[in-house]
């Protein structure tokens, strides 16, 4: 994910004297900021979608545990050991 940023930054460092000679610092700063912003946008969407999925899976797990515990408590034929194992 970070390769375009490091690539662009490395190229800017290697050509720093040329960039300064042509007084193009602003152009390269703007270009680096655009690449960084594009990368951060995709990173934010990745983190947000991972959190969305994690929240749903945690809720599903909690519901399954709740149902198993309710069935163990409300059922007369389940022993304490088997209810704890479930």
Average pLDDT over the chain, rounded to an integer: 90
Share of the chain above pLDDT 70, in %: 98
Average pLDDT over residues 2-6: 79
pTM: 0.65
pLDDT for 55 beyond 90: yes
Which pLDDT score, from 0 to 100, does residue 2 have? 60
DSSP string, the chain: --HHHHHHHHHHHHTHHHHHHTT-HHHHHHHHHHHHHHHHHHHHHHHHHHHHHHHHHHHHHHHHHHHHHHHHHH-SS--HHHHHH-
């Amino acid at each position: 994910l970070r390769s375009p940023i490091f690539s662009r930054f490395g190229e800017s460092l290697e050509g720093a004297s040329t960039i300064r000679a042509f007084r193009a610092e602003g152009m390269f700063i703007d270009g680096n900021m655009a690449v960084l912003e594009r990368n951060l946008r995709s990173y934010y969407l990745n983190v947000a979608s991972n959190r969305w999925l994690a929240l749903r899976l945690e809720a599903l797990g909690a519901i399954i545990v709740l149902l198993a515990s309710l069935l163990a408590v409300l059922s007369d034929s389940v022993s304490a050991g088997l209810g704890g194992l479930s």
